[in-house]
Amino acid sequence: MDETAARPTPAARAPTRRWWSGLFWKCLLSMLTACWISTILLSLLGVYLLRRELRDDMAPPALETSIRRELAQLGPMPDLAAVSPAQCQALLQGLLVRVVGMDTPKWMYSHSFAGGAADGRIAIRYRDRDGRVCLYPERPSAPLARALEQAGQDVAADGIAAARTLDRDGDWVSVAALPLAGAPGASLGVGQHAADTTATFLRMSSGESGDMVWLAFYLLVISAMASVAVATLLTRRIGHAEQVADSWAAGGLDARIHDRGRDEFGGLAHRFDRMADALGEVIQVRQQLAVSEERNRLARDLHDTAKQRSFALGLQLSVLDHLNGRDGEAGRDPRQGALIKAALGLTGQLQRDLADVIQRFTAPTVAEQGLRKALEDTFSHLLGGSGIEWRLLLDGVAERGVGAHHQHAGQLLLIATEAASNSLRHSGARRIEVVLNSADERYGWTIQDDGCGFAVNEHESTGMGLGNMRMRARTLPGGRFRIASSASGTVVTVSFTLPAPQGESA
C-alpha cells in the first residue's frame, strides 16, 4: 500500500450568506405561506358547509312556508295603482326581511356570506292582478330575475304556488311564488341566488377588505413570533454543528456535536458524531497500515542494497587481508594490515547495525500484537544469543490503559528497544527489566539494566539514541524523560498521563 497517512482535505469556502437567506426569513416565509393557505382552505370549507345549510333553509318549500306565515300576519297586499313605487319597495323590503329571517342571529352570522339585497343576491317580487310589478331590490341578479319572472307567470297561469330552482356548476337559485288570496292573478315571489363556493369566498374577501387587512396583520405577527422561536432554537444548534464541522475539516476529528435534542436534528447530529468516530478509526487504521508498509519497504530496500553491499565490502576486505598475508613479512607494510583489520571491524559493525535496523523495521506493531507481545518478540530477536536475561513487569490495569492508545504504546516500545539496544552494545549488562505501572492517571515506564553505565553528560550532545528517546517521551501526554547511569547500571524512566480506561480503576 504505497500511500501516506490519510488527511482530511480542507472544506471549501462557504458561500457568502445574504440577509434574506437566513433561517428566520425562510421560516417566516414558510409559516406565512402555510398560514394563508390553511386559512383559505378552512374558509372555503366553512363556506361550502354553510352553503349546504343555506340550501335547506332557503329551499322552495321553506320559502313558501315563510311567505304564507308573513302574509297571514300582514293581511291583503295594497293595490300598486294606489301607492308610490317607493312605498311599495319599502313594504317589500320589510316583508323580505321577515320572510327570509334577515333580522335573526342565524342569518347575520351564518347566511349573510351568500349576499343580500344590496348586491341583488336576494329579492322579492310583487305582481298585482293588473300585471303591474314591484321589485325589491330594483335590479336583482339576472338568473334570479328570470326565475322570479317565470315563477310569477306560472302562478298567474295556474293559480297555484310555483317553485323554480337552478343548480348548475355550483351556481344555485331558489325561488318560491304564491298566489294572493282575494286578488286573482296577483302573486308574491321570494328568491335567493348564491354563487359557487369559490366565487362566494372571493366576494366575501373583496367586500370585507378591512377584515382581510387585519387578518393579514394577524397572520404576519403569528408567523413572525413562531419563526423567532423556531429559528432561535435551531440556529444555535446549527451554529454549534457548523463549528464542529469546521474542526473536522481542519483535521480535528476529536470534536463532537453532542446535541442533546431528541428530535430529528438531534438524531442527525448523533449520526454525524458516529460518522466522525468511524472516520477517525478508518484514518487511524490507514495511518498504521501506511506506516507498517513504509517500514517494510525500507527494510526491504536496506536488505537488498546497503546490507548486500556491506557484505560484499566485507568479502573484498577479507580477500585483501588474505592476499596481504601471502606476501610475507618482508613485503608487507604493517600499517596496511592494521588498516585492513580496522576496516573489517567497521564492516562487521555496519552489518550488525543494518541487521538491527532491519529487524526493528520488520517487527510487528503494537496495534497488531499488543504491547506485551510486541515487546516479547522485539526483545527475543534483539537479545537472542546475547546471554542477557530480560523480563517484563507490566501491571495489568496499566497495560490495558496503554493498550487503548496504540500510538502512545508504539512510542514506549521504541523507547524500550533503543534502551535495550544501547545496553546490548555498550554496557555489558547481564539483565534487563522493563516495568510499567500506574497511579490514577499517571503512568511510569522504566527500562533498567545492570551494566557498567556511562557518562550521561558526555552523550547528551553526541548520542542520537538519547535524543530520540527524549523526543519520543515528549510526544506522550504530559511526558517526562529521565535517565540515570552509574557503575551499577542504567535506568531510563518515562512518565506520562492517560485517562483511566472506561470501567476500570487505575
Residue range 242-257, pLDDT digits in tens: 888 888 888 887 888 8
- The pLDDT of residue 112 is 63
Alpha-carbon gap, residue 184 to 180, rounded angstroms: 7
Contact call for residues 187 and 179 (beta carbons, < 8 A):
yes
- Give the three-state DSSP class for 196: coil
Which amino acid type is present at position 88?
C
- The pLDDT of residue 491 is 94
CATH of 58-207, picked from 1.20.950, 3.30.250, 3.40.50, 3.30.450, is: 3.30.450
Q: What DSSP string describes 92-109?
A: HHHHHHHHHTTTSHHIII
DSSP summary character for residue 254? T
Alpha-carbon gap, residue 506 to 493, rounded angstroms: 20
Residues of the chain with CATH 3.30.450: 58-207
Alpha-carbon gap, residue 451 to 273, rounded angstroms: 52
- The pLDDT of residue 28 is 73
| Sign of the C-alpha dihedral computed for residues 291, 293, 294 and 296 taken in this order | positive
How many Cβ atoms from other residues are within 10 Å of residue 27's Cβ? 20
pLDDT, tens digit (0-9, with 9 covering 90-100), for 72-111: 888 778 777 778 888 888 888 888 888 888 777 776 666 6
- The pLDDT of residue 259 is 83
Q: CA torsion, points 494, 500, 502, 506, in degrees to nearest 10?
A: 100
Residue located via cell numbers 447530529:
269
**H-helix or E-strand spanning residue 399:** helix 396-403
Segments of the chain with pLDDT less than 70: 1-24, 107-115, 169-170, 195-213, 215, 299-309, 311-312, 316, 320, 323-335, 337, 342, 344-346, 348-349, 351-365, 367, 458-464, 500-506
CATH of segment(s) 369-506: 3.30.565.10
Residues of the chain with CATH 3.30.565.10: 369-506
- The pLDDT of residue 117 is 74
Cα angle 153, 155, 160 (rounded to 5 degrees) comes to 160
| DSSP β-bridge partners for residue 193 | 173
Q: Which residues of 362-378 are buried (b: 16+ CB within 10 A; e: fewer)?
A: ebebbbebbbbebbeeb
Q: What is the pTM of this model?
A: 0.42
Cα angle 112, 115, 119 (rounded to 5 degrees) comes to 140
- The pLDDT of residue 505 is 44
- The pLDDT of residue 356 is 64
Strand 431-439, strand 389-394: pairing: parallel
Alpha-carbon gap, residue 377 to 298, rounded angstroms: 20
Q: Which residues of 165-187 are buried (b: 16+ CB within 10 A; e: fewer)?
A: eeeeeeebbbbbbbbbeeeeebb
Residues 6+ apart with CB under 8 A from 216: none
Alpha-carbon gap, residue 331 to 113, rounded angstroms: 136
In the structure grid, which three cell numbers stand for residue 172, read together? 344555485
Contact call for residues 165 and 122 (beta carbons, < 8 A):
no
The answer to whether the bond into 137 is cis (omega within 30° of 0) is yes
Residues 6+ apart with CB under 8 A from 354: 302, 306, 307, 310
Candidates 491, 503, 401, 405; CA nearest to 443 is 401
